[in-house]
Amino acid sequence: MAARIHNFNPGPAVLPLSVLEEAREALVDFKGTGMSITEISHRSAVFEEVLNDAIARLGRLVNLPDNFKVLFLQGGASTQFFMVPMNLIPEGRSADYINTGTWSTKAIKEIDILKKPYKVIASSEDRDFCYIPKEFRVSPDAAYLHFTSNNTIKGTQWSRFPDAGNVPLVSDMSSDMLCRPFDPGPFGLMYAGAQKNLGPAGVTLVIIREDMLERVPKSLPTMLRYTTHAEQNSLYNTPPCINIYIVQLVFKWLEETIGGLEAMERINMEKADLLYGFIDSNDFYRGTADKDSRSMMNVTFRLPKEDLEKQFVAEAQKSGLGGLKGHRSVGGCRASLYNAVGLDDVQSLVDFMKEFAQKNG
């Protein structure tokens, strides 16, 4: 049995051990081909089977209607920050954005660079992004409404997605994709860098509604057009085959071991309740997000003093609990509880936190 720590990294993050073990075999000899998954052609039947199985599994996991296409792209979620406005804002239209933290701010920065028309219809910047805005009015003629479903750095999450009427939703779901069931119906596009809930960094999942493809300007460079990738089943150029393979294994784990997204949500809620419940039960630890905006995936908290936070992170690491340092831009502590983090990992963290508070409180 491999020696593994309790891994609370924000991303790249922990993956299910069974997935890693299966991938280890495939790294040398993929399904008896005598070749590694990294050595076979992306145009071979064996790889196309991997790709199509990943797409089919995702479709079943999120009950994806037939009019959506699943794409595997490169360049991370950060590339989607500019691909979305380049592809989806028709001439003469404007897009709405909601700013809930660092990643939304970066998405807005890209549309600004492109000089495309947009409007920030709500922001939680006034209180350092510690909440999800509740009051906003979506422009009825907006090309789309962009929001970040989970704010990895600030530890907030939309518990219910914004209602934009007929305006298609576009969401950066990098840090909570597949953590719970959701209705893809109101979405024009969803995207997620894989390195939290889905697999290794280097592949980006994009789910796009077919009618959105009609907006894509032919004047864009080939690789930057969603139509290119949709028409070629993500095989226009060489895709990151091993990453897609690991994503396929993660989807299989979600379907067959966990039992789907309802079951995943129950586990995620149990994990988050355990940790937030403990944080709220004492005065030593303090959660940084408003209670009604708290993220199930990234639990951000402070200790009474910065020195104690440093000591906490270092002692936790020594005790086999890794990745608890808050993002460098905000400080404090953060425990990321992605899908592959077990309830036992969270229990070990809570036990450690109790002991640390007793010794240092």
Ligand X SMILES: Cc1ncc(COP(=O)(O)O)c(C=O)c1O
Q: Of these residues, 103, 116, 154, 253, which one is catalytic?
A: 103
Is 176 in the active site?
A: no
Residue found by looking up tokens 């963290």 in the block: 349
| Interface segment toward ligand X; rule CB under 6 A; list 63-71, 168-176, 243-251, 330-338 | 168-176
- Asked if residues 71 and 230 have their Cβ atoms less than 8 Å apart, the reply is yes
Residue found by looking up tokens 């797409």 in the block: 55
CB closer to ligand X, 14 vs 303: 14
DSSP state of 259: -
- Asked if residues 226 and 70 have their Cβ atoms less than 8 Å apart, the reply is no
Binding flag, residue 152, ligand X (CB under 6 A): yes
CB closer to ligand X, 36 vs 78: 78
CB closer to ligand X, 105 vs 139: 105
Can you tell me which of 6, 7, 8, 11 binds ligand X, judged by CB under 6 A? 11
Beta carbon of residue 227, minimum distance to ligand X (angstroms, whole number): 22
Question: Which helix (H) or strand (E) element contains residue 68?
Answer: strand 68-73
The two beta strands, 204-209 and 286-287, are unpaired
Binding flag, residue 71, ligand X (CB under 6 A): no
Beta carbon of residue 41, minimum distance to ligand X (angstroms, whole number): 26
Beta carbon of residue 109, minimum distance to ligand X (angstroms, whole number): 12
CB closer to ligand X, 191 vs 356: 191
DSSP state of 327: P
Distance CA 332, CA 128 (A): 14
Binding flag, residue 85, ligand X (CB under 6 A): no
Is 103 in the active site?
A: yes
356 φ/ψ angles, rounded to the nearest 5 degrees:
-65, -40
Residue 200 CA to chain centroid, in angstroms? Answer: 12
Beta carbon of residue 106, minimum distance to ligand X (angstroms, whole number): 7
Binding flag, residue 193, ligand X (CB under 6 A): yes
Binding flag, residue 172, ligand X (CB under 6 A): yes
Q: Of these residues, 69, 116, 154, 196, which one is catalytic?
A: 196
Quickly list H helices, the chain: 17-28, 45-61, 76-88, 102-113, 210-213, 226-231, 241-252, 261-280, 306-318, 343-360
Beta carbon of residue 7, minimum distance to ligand X (angstroms, whole number): 16
| Interface segment toward ligand X; rule CB under 6 A; list 57-65, 70-78, 129-137, 210-218 | 70-78
Binding flag, residue 174, ligand X (CB under 6 A): yes
Binding flag, residue 148, ligand X (CB under 6 A): yes
Q: Of these residues, 172, 253, 271, 325, which one is catalytic?
A: 172
Which amino acid belongs to residue 76? Answer: G
Distance CA 333, CA 353 (A): 12
What is the greatest pairwise CA distance in the chain? 64
The interface with ligand X within residues 88-107 (CB under 6 A) comprises: 103
Beta carbon of residue 104, minimum distance to ligand X (angstroms, whole number): 8
Q: What is the 3-state secondary structure (H, E, C) of 335-347?
A: EECCCCCCHHHHH
Can you tell me which of 14, 50, 51, 76 binds ligand X, judged by CB under 6 A? 76
Distance CA 5, CA 171 (A): 32
Binding flag, residue 78, ligand X (CB under 6 A): yes
Binding flag, residue 157, ligand X (CB under 6 A): no
CB closer to ligand X, 110 vs 345: 110
Distance CA 20, CA 247 (A): 11
Q: Which residues does 214 contact at the CB level (< 8 Å), separation at least 6? A: none
- Asked if residues 202 and 12 have their Cβ atoms less than 8 Å apart, the reply is no
Q: Which residues does 20 contact at the CB level (< 8 Å), separation at least 6? A: none
CB closer to ligand X, 87 vs 152: 152
Is 172 in the active site?
A: yes
| Interface segment toward ligand X; rule CB under 6 A; list 72-80, 181-189, 260-268, 317-325 | 72-80
Tell me the catalytic residues: 103, 172, 196
Contact residues: ligand X, CB under 6 A: 11, 76-78, 103, 148, 152, 172, 174-175, 193
